[in-house]
Structure 1
Amino acid sequence: MAVIVLAAGAGLTSPHAAFAAPTPARGAQNCASAPPQSKRVGAWMCVDASHKVDPKLTANRPAPLATTTYCITEGCYYRYSDTWVQFAGYGLYYFYGDEQLGEMFHNFNWYLNGTNTTQTAAVDIDHEVDFPEWSGSLFNGAAGVNGSVIHDCTTTDGPAEVPGGVTQYQPPGFCTLSDNRNYDHNMVLQYSWQAPDTSGYYWVYAKSVVAHSGSLPATSYIFNGVSSLPANPASQGWDA
């Protein structure tokens, strides 16, 4: 499912929607199994092998029952109720060549209300970033399926520069999307940013647990079990 990358032109159509065309067969890696730092070339990212999360982003969350937690290479999903799920990403290191530019953490939430799905999110990066952007979509798709886009969020730009160590929150009211025509759908959120004095964009995305309605046209949805994830549920990388 995860991970490093890559080079320019890796098949991603936009830094705002890497989730729309996930690059196949990249293979899971973490920082412990990556090449020695002196031999790294180009822009790429890796998951922290220690699987640490940022306490600033997770300190106030409820403690879910063990049966409501499911972890993948990139982080862990938590199902708090039929209408609230969360993804807490493991630490990500991003590099250009042999220089480590920073470490980032992310925490995404999805909420259901009738036929609406709403996202909230926060990211924490320890170095200055330029031109941060939020984007996302609602996808028609059951567990294990990529699906197709139903609606897109409007891409929202952050400030031109954000100092390191400042927690960035998704803009209030960033995106609520509705669907009543599909039995199953899921919502994806992406955060993209540029490292100072480098080209291209780094990005990270995660998709929600699949939400299901038993009849159509739907009047409400509930989240499936916490392991009910669409294809390519989370990833990160870089694009020109």
Structure 2
Amino acid sequence: MCGRFTLYIPYKELIARFGVGRTFQEGEYLPSYNIAPTQKMVAVINNGRENRMGKLRWGLISRWSKEMKIGSRITNARAETLEEKPIFRQAFERRRCIIPADSFYEWQREGEIRRPMRIRLKDEPVFGMAGLWDTWVSPAGEKVHTCTAITTKPNRLMERIHDRMPVILNPAHEAEWLAPDNRDTGSLSRMLVPYDADKMEAYEVSPEVNSPKNNGPELIVPFC
């Protein structure tokens, strides 16, 4: 699964990396070392003309959901069942997004011990995770924009840590993934594969990351 991640790359580098044409103001960008479900995260979508960057609440609430609290349970979507589950099917066809991150956390279980691990790419400061988004309107008329991260089976590195991992998109596929007129779910599904393990690395970090209340650069320091 994907339950926590980081995004602290400088704002201008983030804009350049994802070719964003329209976004929020630089002062609204808050680097984070411990992004958790139900929090707002940065996401990139395409409106048919340009890439736009905004903030989405982590936890998908489909437009036909009856209540908001369901979102806290739908933080991940399995790549293998996107076309089978009604809550994901339409978003997979029409409302895809990229979730920028510079690393993610996963907990490696050893008996009763759970060790937090930070996973990142060796040679790239930031990457794009595949996601789905939707807009829910509350009974009071409030619009809530939400998203979920797509997961897949683990690669050779991740299988020692957990049985799932977020889909990290090949940069060459990002434009095709975002294209709103692309309804070819077969070709889209072929993008949802484990990232090359040789291009990734993992190390243990402080158990302070266990609480989303903790959010500082000390969380990404190797734990000895």
**Superposition TM-score, scaled by structure 2 size:** 0.29
**Superposition TM-score, scaled by structure 1 size:** 0.27
By percentage of residues, which structure has more helix?
Answer: 2
By percentage of residues, which structure has more strand?
Answer: 1
